[in-house]
Amino acid sequence: MSKIGCGSLTVVGTGMRAVAQLTLEARGAIEECDRLFHVVQDGLSRRFLDEARPGAESLADSYARGKSRHASYAEMVERVLAPVRAGERVCLALYGHPGVFATAGHEAVRRARAEGYPATMLPGVSAADCLYADLGVDPGSRGCQSFEATDFLVRHRRFDPTCHLLLWQVGALGVEDFRPGDGWNPAALGVLGRELAATYGEEHEGVIYETPAYPIGEARRERVPLGALAGAEVTLATTLYVPPLPERELDAARLAELRATIPGDA
Ligand SMILES: C[S@@+](CC[C@H](N)C(=O)[O-])C[C@H]1O[C@@H](n2cnc3c(N)ncnc32)[C@H](O)[C@@H]1O
């Protein structure tokens, strides 16, 4: 049962390019809340949030070297839920889309609802949205698959190489905690390159993609043969895009079966 009149939670995304990709509804939630928590990547967003809601609190100090990121997310959720339980309208602002590769956003909403508090997630602009625009990729043209890179490798995820492929967190392969600095485990890139080259071939080129943190500036789009991925420079902000292999043959009999079911004009 919802505890109407008590605390509530709204989780919003601030987009990838500083304040420029903040939606109107996210801005409204930020300005109307009693307590604001945030995890953002750039100074401009931090300043905007601090000014929009004085007393805003960064959750970034829940990360620490040697502490698993899962433990950090659990701590963030607890920090956010404490004022909800005390009757406050709480907003949690996460960079990008707050529900895309963002454990804390989903978990906070799930836990708040389980405890009977109204909780909502508002969509934001994710790295994938920026990639579609910057690299001219339409996920509807071939289908598009998205995997966390470590998960892709260690679970041997099945994928279709004739679809677009997005691999996230290639700068953190195999790393469970949080580290200062940029590429956390560049030496493991060779493992990813080897796995991808086995399907696509060593000459097939992937794109090292990074959207700029600010509305000005160019996206990084560096083409690299998968066989040479081991030597590529990646950061925590890198998403690897692998373009599809040639299109599959379509099944003419299946298409005819579908067309035969289309209602005729009355
Ligand atoms: C923890 S996830 C956060 C994703 C974010 N919530 C979103 O909506 O895109 C971090 C991963 O997002 C991607 N990412 C973050 N910043 C990026 C950027 N500036 N350009 C491209 N991809 C980025 C990378 O794959 C990175 O490893």
Return the ligand 1 atom nearest residue 168 CA: 25
How many CB atoms are located within 10 Å of the residue 157 CB?
11
The residue whose CA is least distant from atom 15 of ligand 1 is 237
The residue whose CA is least distant from atom 3 of ligand 1 is 101
What is the reported pLDDT for 182?
Answer: 78
Catalytic residue list: 69, 73, 95
Question: Residues near ligand 1 with C-beta < 6 Å?
Answer: 16, 96-97, 100-102, 126-127, 168-169, 171, 209-211, 236-239
For residue 148, give the amino acid letter.
E
pLDDT single digits (tens) 176-204:
888 877 778 988 999 999 999 999 999 99
Q: How far apart are the C-alpha atoms of 164 and 193, rounded to whole Å?
A: 17
Return the ligand 1 atom nearest residue 213 CA: 19
Q: Determine the residue of 100, 238, 240 to mutate for testing ligand 1's pocket, defined as the one with the most ligand atoms within 8 A of the Cβ atom.
A: 238
Burial call 102-135: b when 16+ CB within 10 Å, e when fewer: bebbbbbbebbeeeebbbebbebbbbbbbbbebe
Q: Determine the residue of 16, 150, 152 to mutate for testing ligand 1's pocket, defined as the one with the most ligand atoms within 8 A of the Cβ atom.
A: 16
pLDDT single digits (tens) 214-237:
999 999 999 999 999 999 999 999
Return the ligand 1 atom nearest residue 131 CA: 21
Structural domains present in the chain: 8-121 (3.40.1010.10), 127-242 (3.30.950.10)
> For residue 76, which phi and psi values (nearest 5 degrees)?
-60, -45
Return the ligand 1 atom nearest residue 172 CA: 27
Cβ neighbors of 170 (< 8 A, separation 6 or more) are 149, 189, 192, 234, 238, 239, 240
The residue whose CA is least distant from atom 23 of ligand 1 is 237
Which pLDDT tens digits describe the chain residue by residue (266 residues)? 556 568 999 999 999 999 999 999 999 999 999 999 999 999 999 999 999 999 999 999 999 999 999 999 999 999 999 999 999 999 999 999 999 999 999 999 999 999 999 999 999 999 999 999 999 999 999 999 999 999 999 999 999 999 999 999 999 999 988 887 777 898 899 999 999 999 999 999 999 999 999 999 999 999 999 999 999 999 999 999 999 999 999 999 999 999 999 999 87
Q: Residue 144 Cα, ligand 1 centroid: separation in angstroms?
A: 17
